[in-house]
A and B are shown apart, each in its own frame.
Chain A
Amino acid sequence: MHRTFIVSSLAFMTFLALVIGYFFILPVLQPTESHGINGMLPKPQIIAPFELTRHDNQPFDIDTFKGKWTMLFFGYTHCPDICPMALSILRGVKLGLDEQYPQQTENTQFIFVSVDGKRDTPAQLSQYITFFHPEFIGATGDATQVNTLTRQLNIVYMALPEQDNGNYIINHSSSILLVSPDAQLIGRFSTPHDIADIIQRYIQMRQFIEEDNRA
């Protein structure tokens, strides 16, 4: 009698766990099906520690992400087309957020990471990045330091051979990445970039994660 009770209790609890798992836990583990937001990762990806230097010589590391939503872009200051374009887009996103989403803009930061540590010193970056917006942050480091971050974020870049005039071009990923305040990669905005579209999807992704965290 006692034994039957235990067995049936176990069976019931297993059944209950399956039901809970199916209806409540599974959707959380696989938000792909529920969020439906273009560019948002199926599940957040934890970012491992890295060490870079900001344009103002402060450290840029995992703690820089804490407490703020971050839009990240990778490039280099000698970039003629895609980097100034992306940074102008991000300037538009920043101004748009200021205007339409004052609450969200307060804890949103924009970081441009150079993949050209050879030429992009903090001083060079400082002049470059603040041109696009005084609050934008630039970050740089040697190749090993940069790769610690780029490899885990699936950002690729490749320097082309130096030309006669000493200039060289670097081909690189052009996606804008979204990182959450707990240092997790949330989304990837790929080209072509549109200011209004990025603002809209950023707000959606953010709301989704924030609601998810409350639940």
Chain B
Amino acid sequence: MHNLLKTLLLTVGLFSIQSLHAEDVLSVDDAWVRAVPPSSTVTAAYMKILNSSDVAIDLIGGSTEAFKTLELHQTVFEDKMAKMVKQDKITIPAQGMTELKPGDYHIMLIDRQVELKAGDSVELTLQFSDETSQTLNIEVKQAEMPMMHHHKH
């Protein structure tokens, strides 16, 4: 009994450390999903991901109920074209920040399952290479104007 309790406490302890770790190391700022016409089934999510740890961490994927598929992409400009290049991961450098923004890294959201308009929010879970994940509520926005500052997650 004593041993079981010890194991239990240890497990709970480790679990809290694990989630604490996720909260502390990575944070997401200025996240938004682009509002697109009602007829569109694809769009993209953008955000800043900050890594306060001493090791690089990769964003490796994610999921949302609002879209069937989620892919990591980068728009690159070459051969006179804007090219969409699928990424296996997007690296957030140690003690650094990676910005997912229009015309660059973005999370492509494919096959919309629900109606979305500006002002709505999308619940999105991001998976990271350190085996942590983060669930965000991201606002849908239309504007190309400078983004409003979001609360940190």
Residues of A within 8 A of B (CB): 77-82, 84-85, 88-89, 91-92, 124, 127-128, 130-132, 154, 156-158, 160, 165, 167, 169, 171-174, 191-192, 195
Contact = CB atoms under 8 A, between A and B. Distances in A.
Given A128-B39, A191-B82, A192-B103, A80 B144 contact: no
Interface string B123-150: 0000000000000000000111100000
14 contacts: A77-B40, A80-B43, A80-B73, A80-B109, A81-B108, A82-B75, A82-B103, A84-B43, A89-B144, A128-B40, A156-B80, A165-B68, A171-B81, A174-B82
Interface in B27-78: 34, 36-44, 68-69, 73, 75, 77
Contact of A127 (B37, B103, B106): B37
A91 B36 CA distance: 13
A54 to B, nearest CB: 17
Contacts of B42: 78-80, 167
A207 B111 CA distance: 45
Given A81-B44, A82-B103, A174 B81 contact: yes
Interface residues of B, number: 32
Contacts of B43: 80, 84
Interface string B92-113: 0000000000110010111100
Contacts of A160: 84
Nearest to B105: A81
Contacts of A77: 37, 39-40
Contacts of A172: 81-82
A81 B81 contact: no
B79 interface: yes
B83 interface: yes
Contacts of B81: 156-158, 171-174
Contacts of A127: 37-39
| Interface residue SS majority, chain A | mixed
A23 to B, nearest CB: 37
B103 A81 contact: yes
Contacts of A130: 37
Nearest to B79: A156
B147 to A, nearest CB: 12
A173 B40 CA distance: 21
Given A81-B102, A167-B110, A88 B142 contact: yes
Contact of A88 (B73, B77, B84, B144): B144
